[in-house]
Structure formats: C-alpha cells, structure tokens
C-alpha cells in the first residue's frame, strides 16, 4: 500500500504530489493520457499566463460566487506564491503591462519539465495511460481501479487526491467521465470561458477572422476591456470569456465601441458642418471606427431604438447560445463544495480529496485558472499529509 495516490497529472495534481512527496510520503500519479500536463502545455501555446499581479481583493473577485470559499486557499497560495514557485523551479517570470504574469521563456514545457524533475527527485512514480474506473474493495478497504495498457489494475493507497479536470477539451484528457463515480457530489457541467454562436448576416462573411479591439463588453454585472474575434461560428476570445458566465446565464451582451468617449463627445464628432461627408466616412474619419467595428454597428445597430451616438456606446447583441462544452477553455460545475470539508475532502469518503478544475468553481482566463488549480492542489496535499501523519502508529 502506498501513502498517496493522485489521479490526474495536471497542475493541481502535480502540486499535490510535490507537497506530499516533499513531506516524505510515497506518491503515485496516474493519468489517462500518454503524458501528463497536456492541457497545461496547450495553455502555453500563446504564452503561459501563470497568474495575475494585482491587489488580492481585486484578484479574488474573479472567482465570483466561489470567492468566499476559495479565499483562505488563495490567501495561503496566491499570485506572489505562484511566481515564487515557478522561480523556485528555475523559471524566471515577468509581469506584463496588464498585470499578467508569464515565464520569461513564455512556454509551459520548461516549467513542466522542471516540475517533473523535482517530483522524480522526490521519488514520485507516474503511470500514464491509466484511466480510473472507480473503486473496489479488498482486505485493506477501498481500492482504486484502472484500465491500463496491460489490462485492469488496482492501487491501494492510504489517501487519494482526485485531480481529473473538468469536462472540456477531451483530446487533452479532460472529459468529465469521472463524474459518474461521484454522482451525489457533482453539479452539472456548464461551459466557461467559452465563445458564442452568432447568426451573422451574409455581409459579415468578409470580416471572419477579424479581431475586435479597444471595446468594452458588458453582460449582467460583468465588464471586460479585452479583445475578441469574429468567426464563422460567432465570437470568441479573452474579452468575451471574461463576461461569458453572465451571457451563458441569460444576460445580454452590450458592446461599447468607443469606451474612452462620452455620448456627447461622439455626438459632436458626428456633426458634419460642411454636410459633405457620408455617414460611413464620418464614422471612419471622425470617429476612427475601423471596418470590423463599422460592420458590427451595421449588423446590430439599426433596431436599437437609440440615437447613433448612444448605439455606438451600447451596441446590443442578439440572444446567443454558448459554443459546445468541448470548445470551452474550462467548465463550471463539478464536485460541489458542500460535498467537501474545508480541507477539500469528500464528506462521503474519508481520505479522498478533490482539487483543481473538477471542483465547482469558475474564473476568467488571465492567470486565475492556473492559480486556483495550484492553490487547491497544495491545500489538499497539505491536508492529506497531515492526515497521514496523524494516522501513523
């Protein structure tokens, strides 16, 4: 029997393994994929955004309804700690102009390799292509069961940490199939950080692939100043992901095309004292609206019931449906916090903890996702280590 079994080799599982092995416990990580950290590696394709350097009060608001539950976990391992962890693995970091923190090398692979090297030094065993299939019983109690390349296998462990991700990006191993083994503890999955289907008219075809920048997006109580992309499917990108939870839950998207100008400023610019310019030229020359912004104004601005200046400041999008869950960056839903102790242990299974994206929380992209995964992995790892220590004869 080993001390600790960790099922799932993403950031949360790797952090839990680091904590437990550093405390001297025998640890085995299993992962259903051929290699660990696949979603983590994908996150670094365009520059690995590890965390966000900002006031903690502001930082925790990104977690919405879960911020109170996550506050003590993130207080113990927040943005500064994430940066220190990366640098402790030999990967220097820098903070961009928006407060986002990146490794200097801008990639996931060097950090993942360094993390795995540390785990190897600390005696951690990693088994890949091992898919968890639930539990069975033997003389020692509950035993985890797996499908492996060599057939069915079992692992008996004193404590288990489940770190199997949410239900998006199946090709990277995050498919949510584990939920069938924890039904009484799981809230339904929903897409988070997701794009939306938009029923474009034909004239928008020429703008597919265009990035919309310099706008403010509002939906419900959420606001974003990021950018997004217009595609044949609809809209997607960081700016939309920030407000996607509100849109998914029924709020309308409103776009401010010129967030740094007032209605009065725009009205004054729209006046053509010589009366010679067409409205299209006025929008282009006087207001500096680029082709994609003008196209969106033409697409959705005719029936707003507002003046042109007011419409530019509050362009309403039609009702939209989220893209399929497997296209989402992350998911809401998962193991409910009311099914867990403060240590993130399942109330129904002593010694079994849940961490990372498989928990029922959501946050926008921008470093918040990885930070909370690392923080919950550490939190449960420390709790499991304490439990192992107190259970020793």
Tens digit of each residue's pLDDT (9 = 90 or more) over 193-242? 999 999 999 999 999 999 999 999 999 999 999 899 999 999 999 999 99
**Rounded CA gap, 119 and 87, in Å?**
16
Query: Following DSSP, what letter does each residue of 251-278 receive, concatenated?
Result: PPPEEES-TTS-HHHHHHHH--TT--S-
Q: In this predicted structure, what is the pLDDT of residue 247?
A: 97
* Helix (H) or strand (E) run with residue 42 in it: helix 38-43
The predicted-structure confidence for 290-313, as pLDDT tens digits, reads as follows 999 999 999 999 877 889 999 999
Work out the pLDDT band at 43, boundaries 50, 70, 90: confident
pLDDT, position 127 = 98
Structure tokens at 233: 């499917």
| Cα dist from 116 to 10, 122, 310, whole Å | 11, 10, 54
pLDDT > 70 in the chain, percent: 98
DSSP result, 122-152: TT-EEEES-EEEEEEEETTEEEEEEEETTEE
Closest CA to 37 of 58, 64, 68, 14: 14
Sheet of strand 196-197, all strands in order from the earlier edge strand to the far edge = 211-212, 228-230, 234-236, 196-197, 321-322
Residue linked to tokens 């079992």: 154
For residue 88, give the nearest of 47, 50, 133 by alpha carbon.
Answer: 50
The span from the CA of 59 to the CA of 50, in Å, is 13
Tens of pLDDT, residues 345-381? 999 999 999 999 999 999 999 999 999 999 999 999 9
The pLDDT tens digits of the residues spanning 75-124 come to 999 999 999 999 999 999 999 998 999 999 999 999 999 999 999 999 99
pLDDT of residue 275: 57
Q: Which domains does the chain have, with CATH numbers?
A: 2-190+329-391 (3.50.50.60), 196-322 (no CATH)
Kindly report, residue by residue over 19-32, the tens digit of the pLDDT: 999 999 999 999 99
Q: What is the pLDDT of residues 232-279, one digit of tens each?
A: 999 999 999 999 999 999 999 999 999 999 999 999 888 865 556 677
| Cα 248 to chain centroid, rounded | 15
DSSP secondary structure string for all residues of 226-252: --EEE-SSEEESHHHHHHHHHHHTTPP
Q: Summarize pLDDT for 45-65 with one digit per residue, the tens.
A: 878 999 999 999 999 999 999
Q: Tell me how far apart the alpha carbons of residues 18 and 163 are, in angstroms, rounded to a whole number.
A: 14
DSSP per-residue codes, 324-369: PGGGSSEEEEEE-GGGB-TTSBBTTSTTEEE-GGGBS----SSSHH
Three-class secondary structure of residue 27 per DSSP = strand
End-to-end CA distance of the chain: 15
Q: Which has the higher per-residue pLDDT, 286 or 15?
A: 15
Please report the pLDDT score of residue 274 as a whole number: 55
- Average pLDDT score, the chain: 94
Under a CB-based contact definition with an 8 Å cutoff, are residues 210 and 229 in contact? Answer: yes
- Cα(336)–Cα(390) distance, rounded to whole angstroms? 27
């Amino acid at each position: 029997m080993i001390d600790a079994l960790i099922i799932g080799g993403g950031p949360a599982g790797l952090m839990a393994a680091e904590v437990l092995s550093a405390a001297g416990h025998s640890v085995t990580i299993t992962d259903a994929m051929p290699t660990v950290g696949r979603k983590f590696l994908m996150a670094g394709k365009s520059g690995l955004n590890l965390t966000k350097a900002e006031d903690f009060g502001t930082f925790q608001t990104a977690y919405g309804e879960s911020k109170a539950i996550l506050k003590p976990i993130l207080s113990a391992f927040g943005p500064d700690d994430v940066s220190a962890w990366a640098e402790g693995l030999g990967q220097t970091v820098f903070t961009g102009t928006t407060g986002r923190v990146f490794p200097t090398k801008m990639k996931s692979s060097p950090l993942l390799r360094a993390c795995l090297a540390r785990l190897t030094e600390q005696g951690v065993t990693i088994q890949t292509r091992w898919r968890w299939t639930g539990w069975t019983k033997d003389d020692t109690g509950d035993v985890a069961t797996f499908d492996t390349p060599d057939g069915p296998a079992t692992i008996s462990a004193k404590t288990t940490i489940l770190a199997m991700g949410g239900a998006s990006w199946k090709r990277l191993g995050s498919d949510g199939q584990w939920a069938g083994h924890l039904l009484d503890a799981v809230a339904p999955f929903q897409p988070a950080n997701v794009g939306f289907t938009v029923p474009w008219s034909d004239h928008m075809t020429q703008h597919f692939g265009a990035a919309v920048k310099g706008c403010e997006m509002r939906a419900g109580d959420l606001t974003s100043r990021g950018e997004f992309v217009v595609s044949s499917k609809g809209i997607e990108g960081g700016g939309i992901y920030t407000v996607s939870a509100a849109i998914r839950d029924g709020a309308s998207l409103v776009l401010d095309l010129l967030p740094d100008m007032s209605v009065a400023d725009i009205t004054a610019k729209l006046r053509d004292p010589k009366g010679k310019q067409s409205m299209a030229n006025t929008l282009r020359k006087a207001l500096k609206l680029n082709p994609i912004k003008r196209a969106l104004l033409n697409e959705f601005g005719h029936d707003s019931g507002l003046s042109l200046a007011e419409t530019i400041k509050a362009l309403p999008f039609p009702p939209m449906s989220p893209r399929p869950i497997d296209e989402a960056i992350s998911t809401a839903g998962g193991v409910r916090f009311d099914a867990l102790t403060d240590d993130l242990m399942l109330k129904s299974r002593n010694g079994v903890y849940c961490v990372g994206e498989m928990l029922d929380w959501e946050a926008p992209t921008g470093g918040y996702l990885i930070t909370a995964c690392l923080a919950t992995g550490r939190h449960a790892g420390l709790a499991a280590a304490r439990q192992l220590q107190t259970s020793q004869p």
